[in-house]
Structures are given as structure tokens and as C-alpha cells.
Amino acid sequence: MVRQATWLCAILIVTQSGALLADSGLPNLEFNGFGTLGVVRSDERNADFVAAPFVSEGAGYSHDWSAEVDSRLGLQATLRMTPQISSVVQVISEKRHDGSFAPDIEWANVQYDFTPNLSFRVGRMVQSSFMSSEHRKVNYATPWIRPPQEVYRLLPVANFDGVDVRYRYPVGKTSNELQMNFGGGSVDYSTGSIDASDSWGVSHRTHWGDATLFASYGELKVSADELSQFFDVYRLFGLPGEQLASRYEVDGKRTSLLSLGVGYDPGSWFVMGEWARSSSPSLLGDSEGAYMTFGYRIAEWTPYVGVARAKVTSNTSESGLNAALYPSPFAEGAQLLNGILNELLSSGMQQESITVGARWDFRPGMALTAQYDHIDMRSGSSGGLINQQPEFTPGERINLFSLALDFVF
């Protein structure tokens, strides 16, 4: 039902756009867009740095200079049908898991305003899990070239098809917004998909003068066909295999995400930071991430510096099946399964990073940003790098240089 509403939003705007544009008395349809043209260079030659976890290639091994890591184009149409009813469709073209830049629907929802302070939406939206969730792909609206991965990659499924309620209210000198949502979503990767169902979340944002406070909590059920098949093989090894599969399988178990954020922006400078923790009684385990960014505005220039950290707080290794208890070839199979399981357990992001950058707003709606990142991967972590070659050594340091032209129109 909700997915049907998502497509209905898109169809509604397309079918009505001609009539509205033809009637100057109905200025209810607006088009705008945003984009980034970026290049990235990594000094790690045996793996690829990527901004999203499920793309096919990035900077480093696949390309010395990659224009695919951060580049994207987004178009948005907003249709105001009545004073209370509006609809939004946002389409984004960016690097995908299959190597293409095929456009995808990021937003497609209908909103009804019961009052100026209370609104209800149905369709496709973005989880309000972090301070910059809803505009995380509009780089022009953020101080960095990309949001700190140590926090923003904790949630692999960002948008969802469902319902959303927002309530805005003042308290003293503060303005507040409470948001609640429910639904589900999915994200594709090269050999399958990750599905999130029974997803719900609640977030609260408070503006108090120049300060912003943010808090969010949500839960979802995650499933992946490949992981289900992997643990089905474990179950062929009797009770020990059944126990390991029950402990680490993902399907049917809830993953929670808690995040807290704070920002202060008096105009000439700003500081912002977030902390987040994801927790799951499964292979996904427990992880934490945090960052802090400080920037200073000098006319059209905004130099900034940031630090960030990500760590896995659950076990990253497992002794697994005792291969000595099984005859050949089951013993070799047990060793292979144990190796894959430990590789998965140790694949969580564990790193510390330092970011230094400068943004130049050289004309309205356009900005040029240069950014340097030094990433120290800890505890033998691969730091979210993909396409790892046999010569790649986890747990080392990498350096990134990024240049991006951001624009809105």
C-alpha cells in the first residue's frame, strides 16, 4: 500500500505538471535541484575508498582520481495542491552498485497539514536518524564534502516507504520538532539486497537561539538472503552449528540506533558534533561513531577542521566450529565457514580520522570545497574500503584529497 502511494506521488506530479505550468494563476508547482561534481584521490593502491558502502568501485585501486565517489545530480518537484496538501518527488543520479548512474527515487510522498504545526506524510522519505539525514546528499547544505562516515554509515538503509508525523511546538525561547515514523526499505548491492522491515523511529530537534540539540532512537529488522543461506550451511553441522547460527543470524532480530547531536552557529563560526550507537544481537554486533567539526567564516571562505572515530564494541572474532570433531571433507568445510564468519565479524568500521578543509562560496548557489582526510584504521580494520586486493594490509593509514563543486538551483 505504501509503495503504491510512493509511485502515485511521482505519477501525480508528472501528470499535473503540464496543466499547472500552463496556468500562471496556479504557481503551485516548483522545480529545483542540486548536485556535486567531485574528484577524490587516495594513496591506498590496493583497495577503493567509497562514500557509500554498496557501490562497485571508488578511488585507490580502481581509479587514481575518481569522479564517481561524490558526484551526483538531484532534481526535486514540489506540488502544492491545496493549502493543506502537498507532494514532493526527489530523484537522484549517483554511483550505484551495478556501476551505473541510473536515477533512483529518494523522496516521493504526500503531506497533509492538519495545522501549521502538525503534519502527516505517506510515501517514501528519509529516516531522521542524524542531524543532517534529510539533506545528507545535498553537499551544498553541509560544511563537508561528505558527511562523516564514522557516524552516517552506521545505518545502511536510509530511506523508507511508510508514514511520518511531525509536530512543531514552542517552549519558552525554544522551537521544537518531534518526528515519528514507521515503515520499511531496502538497498541493493552487487549480489543481493538488504531489507529493513518493521522500522520505526522517533527524533526530536530543539533550536535555542544559535544552538541546536538533536536526539533520535529507532529500531528495525534487517534481513539479507546471502546471510540466511550462509547460516543455513552452519546448521548442517549439528547442534554446534545450530547454536552458532542462532547466535549470529540476522533475520528476525531487531537492530537499534541511538544518536545524539549538538550544534552552535552564531554566524561567524560554527561547531557541531554527533555521537551514535547501533546495537544488534546478531552478526551486525554493536558499533559506535562520533565526530566533531569546527569552522570559521571569513567573507566567502569557510575553513574547517574535524575529528571522528568509529569502533566496534562487540566481539570481532569467534572460535566457531571445532573442525577436529568432523571427518573430511566436513572438517575443511568447518574451517572455511569459520574463516568467513570471522572475516564478517571483523569487517566493521574501526578508525580515527582528521579532516581539514576549506569552502569557497564564489557565487550564490555555488561553492568549491577542498578537503584532506587522514584516516587511521585500527584493530586490523579495513575502514570501509572495498575491492581489497591480496596485497592490501588492514589496519594501516590512508590519505585522501577531495575537490568538489557543489551547486543548487
Domain harbouring 238, CATH code: 2.40.160.10
Dihedrals phi, psi of 189, to nearest 5 degrees: -135, -175
Verdict on whether the full-model pTM lies above 0.85: yes
Contact 255, 220 (CB under 8 A): yes
Q: What is the pLDDT of residues 370-384, one digit of tens each?
A: 999 999 998 788 888
Our count of domains for the chain comes to 1
| Residue 65 predicted with pLDDT over 80 | yes
Report residue 25's pLDDT band, with 50, 70 and 90 as the boundaries. Answer: very low
407 vs 409: CA distance, rounded Å: 7
What percentage of the chain carries pLDDT values higher than 70?
A: 93
| The three cell numbers locating residue 21 | 505550468
Report residue 106's pLDDT band, with 50, 70 and 90 as the boundaries. Answer: very high
Domain that holds residue 284: 2-408
Q: What is the pLDDT of residues 258-291, one digit of tens each?
A: 999 999 999 999 999 999 999 999 999 999 999 9
Location of C-alpha cell 555521537? 275
Calculate the average pLDDT of the chain: 92
Which DSSP state fits 236?
G
Report residue 194's pLDDT band, with 50, 70 and 90 as the boundaries. Answer: confident
Location of C-alpha cell 516548483? 30
| The three cell numbers locating residue 233 | 550451511
Which DSSP state fits 77?
E
Of residues 5 and 49, more confidently modeled: 49
CB neighbourhood size of 320 (10 A)? 21
| The three cell numbers locating residue 199 | 522500522
Dihedrals phi, psi of 226, to nearest 5 degrees: -65, -40
pLDDT of residue 8: 52
Q: What is the pLDDT of residues 351-375, one digit of tens each?
A: 999 999 999 999 999 999 999 999 9
| Residue 22 predicted with pLDDT over 50 | no
Sequence-separated (6 or more) residues with CB below 8 Å from residue 219: 198, 199, 200, 201, 254, 255, 256, 257
| Residue 92 predicted with pLDDT over 60 | yes
Report residue 21's pLDDT band, with 50, 70 and 90 as the boundaries. Answer: very low
| Residue 190 predicted with pLDDT over 90 | no
pLDDT of residue 139: 96
Contact 248, 267 (CB under 8 A): no
Sequence-separated (6 or more) residues with CB below 8 Å from residue 173: 208, 209
| Residue 77 predicted with pLDDT over 90 | yes
Question: How much is the average pLDDT of 397-405?
Answer: 98
Question: How much is the average pLDDT of 7-32?
Answer: 58
Sequence-separated (6 or more) residues with CB below 8 Å from residue 24: none
Contact 181, 164 (CB under 8 A): yes
Q: If we measure between CA atoms, which residue out of 247, 30, 253, 58 comes closest to residue 149? A: 58
Dihedrals phi, psi of 227, to nearest 5 degrees: -70, -40
CA diameter of the chain: 81
pLDDT of residue 20: 47
CA angle 255, 258, 264 (to 5 degrees): 155
| Residue 33 predicted with pLDDT over 60 | yes
Contact 393, 385 (CB under 8 A): no
